[in-house]
Amino acid sequence: QKEVEQDPGPLSVPEGAIVSLNCTYSNSAFQYFMWYRQYSRKGPELLMYTYSSGNKEDGRFTAQVDKSSKYISLFIRDSQPSDSATYLCAMARTTSGTYKYIFGTGTRLKVLA
């Protein structure tokens, strides 16, 4: 079983829709939870990171962490065609005093104009 599971999609939605992207994880040692956006042929770009359970909002983006269920989500409100990209979840845990990051496989999102 992978430490981080993410549905690869693709996910197609109409412009203006609310998008929900999710990841589950199996290791309760993860402490930091991140979402990256990756456009085609580009490197990942950090969107948001959270440390604790709960919600964190930044503009049209909301990150949600539920440690009890080992489940994280990214919500995108009023989705735009420019949001079309692959969204990667990532998690970090300490090992031997340093941080180890594990990425999900990414979910491909297409927002249709």
Partner 1 sequence: EAGVVQSPRYKIIEKKQPVAFWCNPISGHNTLYWYRQNLGQGPELLIRYENEEAVDDSQLPKDRFSAERLKGVDSTLKIQPAELGDSAVYLCASTPREGGTEAFFGQGTRLTVV
Q: Would you tell me which residues interact with partner 1 (CB under 8 A)?
A: 4, 6, 8, 32, 34, 36, 41-46, 49, 88, 90, 92, 94, 98-101, 103-106
Q: Phi-psi category of 59—alpha, beta or left, where left has phi over 0 and alpha has psi -120 to 50?
A: left
| Helix residue ranges, H only, the chain | none
Residues 75, 58: Cα–Cα separation, whole Å: 10
Q: Which is nearer to partner 1, 2 or 77 (by Cβ)? A: 2
Amino acid at position 7, single letter: D
Q: Are 52 and 64 in contact (CB under 8 A)?
A: no
Q: Which is nearer to partner 1, 17 or 61 (by Cβ)? A: 61
Q: How far is the CB of 15 from partner 1 (least distance, A)?
A: 25
Q: Which is nearer to partner 1, 17 or 108 (by Cβ)? A: 108
Q: How far is the CB of 12 from partner 1 (least distance, A)?
A: 17
Q: Which is nearer to partner 1, 26 or 78 (by Cβ)? A: 26
Peptide bond into 10 cis (omega under 30): yes
Residues 77, 37: Cα–Cα separation, whole Å: 15
